[in-house]
Chains A and B, each alone.
Chain A
Amino acid sequence: GIQVEQSPPDLILQEGANSTLRCNFSDSVNNLQWFHQNPWGQLINLFYIPSGTKQNGRLSATTVATERYSLLYISSSQTTDSGVYFCAVHYSTGNQFYFGTGTSLTVIP
């Protein structure tokens, strides 16, 4: 079955717009990470956030573990934000990381 769901699958934004990406998971987690895969294929760590809220510049993330979802907020988007955003989780009872299918973001000038 599907372990991690991300939405939306695709997103096109005008530069300067804000967006919210969602990650749903199906059980309790002890690790949740958000990654940005840039157009060159590199996977860049954004947040390690099994619970709570964190902010880093224009990006912030919130994980509500009891309701089994996490949100990634991008404010004042820039063309360099383009790429694919992945959510990855480790379930408390599992022995691997599960990656979502990603949200493909395109920011146009």
Chain B
Amino acid sequence: DAGVIQSPRHEVTEMGQEVTLRCKPISGHNSLFWYRQTMMRGLELLIYFNNNVPIDDSGMPEDRFSAKMPNASFSTLKIQPSEPRDSAVYFCASTGQVWNEQFFGPGTRLTVL
């Protein structure tokens, strides 16, 4: 199995632009998680899906952030408009059952200028 796949691996954009991060979970996994990692706040859970349905988005920092999971093999995290404080590494993780062992993707390093 290829593991969790994320794209792009690096993204540099200017303030105000729309950013879309993509994730493909491990095949057969039912749950998908989006995290953000910064030096100041560590790893924060933004949102998670179970069977493609968003279950808890209380970690999404504000309305500029949105996430979708149109099918079992694909999810997006969108930031519109982006701001410099959104600069971070964004990780996607998946699990076979929602609170079982998590497997992380390589992350997307986002820089907003």
| Closest B residue to A40 using CB positions | B106
Q: Mark B37-74, 1 if CB is under 8 A from A, else 0.
A: 00000110100100000011001000000000000000
The verdict on A99 contacting chain B, using a C-beta distance below 8 Å, is yes
Residues of A within 8 A of B91 (CB): 43
Cross-interface CB contact of A95 among B42, B55, B102, B109, cutoff 8 Å: B55
Q: Digit string of B62-89 for contact with A (CB within 8 Å is 1, else 0)?
A: 0000000000000000000000000001
By a CB distance below 8 angstroms, the chain A residues around B89 are 41
Q: Which chain B residue shows the least CB distance to A30? A: B99
Give the interface size bracket for B toward A: 10 to 19
Q: Is the CB of B43 within 8 A of A86?
A: yes
Interface SS of chain A: helix, strand, loop or mixed?
Answer: strand
Q: Is the CB of B104 within 8 A of A43?
A: yes
Distance A37 CA – B79 CA, assembled complex (angstroms)? 25
Interface residues of A in 79-109 (CB under 8 A from B): 86, 88, 90, 95-97, 99, 101-102
CA distance A43 to B37 in the complex (A): 11
Q: Which residues of chain B come closer than 8 Å to A101, judged between CB atoms?
A: 42
B25 at the interface (CB under 8 A from A): no
A88 to B91, CA, bound (A): 15
Shortest CB distance A10–B (Å):
14
A31 within 8 A of B: yes
Q: Which residues of A are found within 8 Å of B42, using beta-carbon distances?
A: 99, 101-102
Q: A75 to B33, alpha carbons, bound, how many Å?
A: 32
Q: Which residue on chain A has the smallest CB distance to residue B107?
A: A41
B7-48 near A? 1/0 per residue, CB < 8 Å: 000000000000000000000000001000000001101001
29 cross-chain CB contacts under 8 A? A30-B99, A31-B99, A31-B100, A31-B101, A33-B101, A35-B104, A41-B89, A41-B106, A41-B107, A41-B109, A42-B104, A42-B107, A43-B91, A43-B107, A45-B101, A45-B103, A45-B104, A88-B102, A90-B99, A95-B56, A96-B45, A96-B48, A96-B56, A96-B59, A97-B33, A97-B99, A99-B42, A99-B43, A102-B42
Chain A interface (Cβ < 8 Å from any Cβ of B): 30-31, 33, 35, 41-43, 45, 48, 86, 88, 90, 95-97, 99, 101-102
